[in-house]
Amino acid sequence: MVPLVAAGLLAGCDKQTPADTQPQSAASAPAAQAEAPSPPNGSLDISNRGAAMPDFTFSDPSGKKIRLLDLKGKPVLINLWATWCGPCKLEMPALDALAGAKADKLAVLTISQDSDQAAAVDAFFKDRKLTHLAPWLDPENALSQHYNTGVLPTTVLYDAQGKEVWRMIGSHDWAGPRTDAMLADTLR
């Protein structure tokens, strides 16, 4: 089952468009590298609205633990990602900024789906100076199996009572104006 989930996640992440597969000329390569592409829009899914937050516990690379159900009382945004997922990595700075800007109203958890890669996840956070997020680990991919979207990134919003509001399947511009509208009712 885990290999099938991993294969599905890999298939959903880093899909190339025809333009991505075209070779770059030497003259255009530096310009393309200098400007990072914005993440494509994911799909907003409300089919699980009202579902209870799962009772999972995660740890960070140092062994500190967090239990999801202990976060009830405040809305929670859970982002599943991996260090090998390009769109996931593009989202992280905006998620970090969102976590800082909404810290009093929203808990933002980024939970890595990298199997046995605590050092790589820790290094990723340190290299990018993500100061408002913690590098939570899910080496068994329990959340990927629970959500069963087959795509990374997947982000799920829970209200203060621990009930699912929506899922964003695929990447999203967390710094864009659509984000405030998507969070507005939950963060009142």
We report the CATH number of the domain holding residue 104 as: 3.40.30.10
**Residue 101 in domain:** yes
Residue 89 pLDDT more than 50? yes
Tell which residue, 134, 155, 146, has the closest CA to residue 78.
155
Q: Which has the higher per-residue pLDDT, 31 or 152?
A: 152
Domain with 173, as residue range(s), is 2-11+42-183
Q: Which has the higher per-residue pLDDT, 63 or 25?
A: 63
Q: Which has the higher per-residue pLDDT, 129 or 1?
A: 129
**Residue 21 in domain:** no
Bridge partner list, 45:
167
Residue 16 pLDDT more than 50? no
Task: pLDDT band for 55, please (50, 70, 90 cuts).
Answer: very high
What's the burial of 30, exposed, middle or buried (CB within 10 Å: 0-12/13-18/19+)?
exposed
List the beta strands (DSSP E) in 30-177. 43-45, 57-59, 65-67, 76-81, 107-112, 135-137, 154-158, 164-169
* Domains contained in the chain, number: 1
Note the pLDDT of residue 126: 95
**Residue 172 in domain:** yes
User: How much is the average pLDDT of 166-172?
Assistant: 97
**Residue 25 in domain:** no
Note the pLDDT of residue 40: 54
Note the pLDDT of residue 86: 96
Note the pLDDT of residue 176: 87
**Residue 110 in domain:** yes
Residue 37 pLDDT more than 70? no
List for the chain the helix, strand, coil content (%; round to 5): 35, 20, 45
Question: Considering the entire predicted model, what is its pTM?
Answer: 0.81
**Residue 23 in domain:** no
**How far apart are alpha carbons 85 and 9 in whole angstroms?**
9
Note the pLDDT of residue 12: 56
> Is-contact 44 166, C-beta < 8 A?
yes
Task: pLDDT band for 35, please (50, 70, 90 cuts).
Answer: very low
Q: Which has the higher per-residue pLDDT, 114 or 116?
A: 114
Tell me the residue length of the chain. 188
Residue 83 pLDDT more than 80? yes
When the pLDDT of each residue in the chain is averaged and rounded to a whole number, the result is 84
**Residue 53 in domain:** yes
**Residue 30 in domain:** no
